[in-house]
Structures are given as C-alpha cells and as structure tokens.
Amino acid sequence: MRYSKQRELVMQQVEAMNNHPTAEEIYQNALKECPGLSLGTVYRNLNSLVEAGRVRRVPIPGQPDRFDHTLSWHSHLYCTRCGHVTDLDLDSEVMQRLLNSQPGRVSDCVLTWIGLCEDCAREEEGEKLQAAASL
C-alpha cells in the first residue's frame, strides 16, 4: 500500500477516537487537520485500510459501519439505547473450537451482539424499579 497523507490521517483518527467511529465521525474529526478532505476520500481510504488488514470493519445491521483499529479477534456489543459499540471479551478458546468445527476453512469472523451496554442496562433497571415503586 502506497503512502498517502489522507490515508495516514484517517488511520490516525481511527486509532485516536478508539470508540469504533463511523466514517462520518472520522471525517468530522479529520476536517480539523485537513479542511479540504472529502467524505468520499475518507470512505475510499477506510476501504483501502480494511482491505490491507490495518483496520477492521464492524457491521451493525441497519446502522453505518463502524471501524476498529484492534485487529486481534474479538466481538462487539451494539447498544440499541445509546448507540455505542464496545468490545466484548469472549472465551477465545471456546470461539476457536467453534471456528475449527466448521466445514471448510474459516479465516475470520465478525460477531456483533445487539442489546444494551452495561450502563444502559443498569439505567433501565433503575427506571423499572422507580416505576414499580411509584405504583
């Protein structure tokens, strides 16, 4: 992959944001350093970085893709309440056995869980307790 100032800027933004940003979020942050940057350039460079294996694409059904600089295998949780994407720590040995048991040869896996993050689950539980107490 040839060096490109814009590609390096996009990569730096993915690493610096560290919150599984969307292309639009990366674009908005990168504009501060490179005012002439276009959203199309951000998308092209993200696709190049994904193809080169320097960035992971985190697909969320019905939502814009997110991007992750952590390349080692891990899964994600998409919170339907706040919209944040967080890393999940799953037993890698169990996942490896599951992948090895599949026919053919699995080279990668993208696993996104959909539900509530820890903070939103706690908040929702508190709301339920308040509602029950007011009855």
pLDDT tens profile 11-55: 999 999 989 999 999 999 999 999 999 999 999 999 999 999 999
Strands (E), the chain: 56-58, 66-68, 75-79, 85-88, 112-115
Q: Which residues, other chains included, contact 99 with Cβ-Cβ below 8 Å and sequence gap of 6+?
A: 106, 109
pTM for the model stands at: 0.83
Domains and CATH numbers, the chain: 1-71 (1.10.10.10), 72-135 (3.30.1490.190)
Give mean pLDDT, residues 53-58.
Answer: 94
Question: Exposed, middle or buried by CB within 10 Å (0-12, 13-18, 19+), for 127?
Answer: exposed
**What count of other Cβ atoms lies within 10 Å of the Cβ of residue 126?**
10
User: What does the pLDDT average to over 92-100?
Assistant: 81
